[in-house]
Structure 1
Amino acid sequence: MDLSAGVWESLRRVRERSPLVHNITNYVVMNNTANALLAVGASPAMVHAREEVADFAAISQALVVNIGTLSSHWVEGMHLAIQSARRSQVPWVLDPVGAGATRYRTTTAAELARQAPAVIRGNASEVLAVAGEAEATRGVDSTQSSEDSLEAARRLASSLGTVVAVTGRTDFITDGSRVVAVENGHPLMPRVTGMGCTASALVGAFLAVEPDAVLAAAQALTVLGIAGELAAEHSKGPGSLQLHLLDALYMLDEVTVRARARVR
């Protein structure tokens, strides 16, 4: 299978269809993720109120739930949105930000993970925590490599019947049997806050046009990785990387995607 061709075809469909991606995400990254979704051609919505999340999830093409800045009201809204998405057969993504750091955060992530997300996207420490195989993390940063958590990711995907995407120097996406590795990206990217959250948002956009969740997650991560590489070529540091990343996402073309995609 030519995975790089699939990356381009899904990006082209995102641009053609402009899927509505409903995000319940954290205060830190709302602007970043909304602009990244716009740059790839999707239509972002940051909708959190308990009174409307169910209605909004039902009219969206994907839902992304990010637990970065938790509160009891937000968690209630997350559950309502997920229930609505599942009734409407809208695929949804869980980003268990900082799972393992506190009991409340870890418990919330585990509860949400049991509600049939199409994809769980996290760093190695977060995935290990959701899988019940890690005691603690250092805030929202990973203390493990993606390779260290691959087997735990496979077990978690199999037990929940979902796809788990572990991001790091190499990204691994698995449904418990298949494993796809994405080797695109740049060391400067983790210096920008919310890059993982942006990855989860893009996974939502690609799920809206690609029903195979393994492929959708791999394609989204490949696109972000390529854009990060291109942005880094023109950046002096993390501040300018943010600007160039949006331009790179917007300007990606078929020749560039096929030439630079490192997905296997």
Structure 2
Amino acid sequence: MKTKVLITVTTYPLPSRSYDELVCTAGLLENGQWIRIYPVPLSFLIDLKGSGKVNNVKYTWIELELNKRTDDFRPESYSPKHYDFKDLTLHPHVGTKSNWLVRKSYCLKTVYTNLSELINLSKAPTNCSLATFKPSKILGVEIEDDNPEWKNEWKELRKQGDLFATEQSPEILIPKLPFKFFYKFLDEGGKKSRMMIEDWEIGALYWNCLRAAEGNVATALLKVKEQYETNFIKNKDVHFFLGTTKEWHMRRSKNPFVIIGVFYPKLESQLSMF
């Protein structure tokens, strides 16, 4: 049987020891439960034969046959039965009408506000690895320099031709982000955290801002910070989509979660709810 999934997460590609975790693709079932799908061919996410731009798959319902991964202890992890996606059915895109009303009905069914509670759920036997989280307060965005070149793992990934389904260099299709972006925030209990933002959107925003700034890095970073900090904090009802990486979850780190997506409908006044 096919499974229907609302895709809500595509992270910026990060080469890993396992090629099939290159891009985290996750979403929600019709009952609101989270699901992670990998491996996902890059051609599903990027228009390899056309512009090279990211396909508009976020907030789109898809249907395909899935198998539970036996090599992954995280309960949300599945793989496509057919890696070439030959059984894939695409449904209409879910838009932002009525301030993301339909998106909210799925993405905000279960929202965590206490990070310690969520971290406890990530431990055995529950092993929760995907969740929607609402910070009580966003303190700001921090940006760190990162290696501008892909590590050797990326060169190994290029040998996996079916992963990219293209003769064009993946380094050209997806340039390495030379920065890491973090959110600092508080949860409802006052716990202060700093988490890396791995959402594809923030990477794409940086490159777009860099082009608009004609290569001025400082200006591009300022624009990214204005969007994710000033605009989001002032005007948006921000939630985080949190996810774990298999490696760090297995190590049982103090906090195995990173921000794999940001959900940002407009703030609504109390009067608009009545």
TM-score range, shorter chain: under 0.3
Length-normalised TM-score, structure 2: 0.25
Larger Cα-atom Rg: 2
Which of the two has greater strand per residue?
A: 2
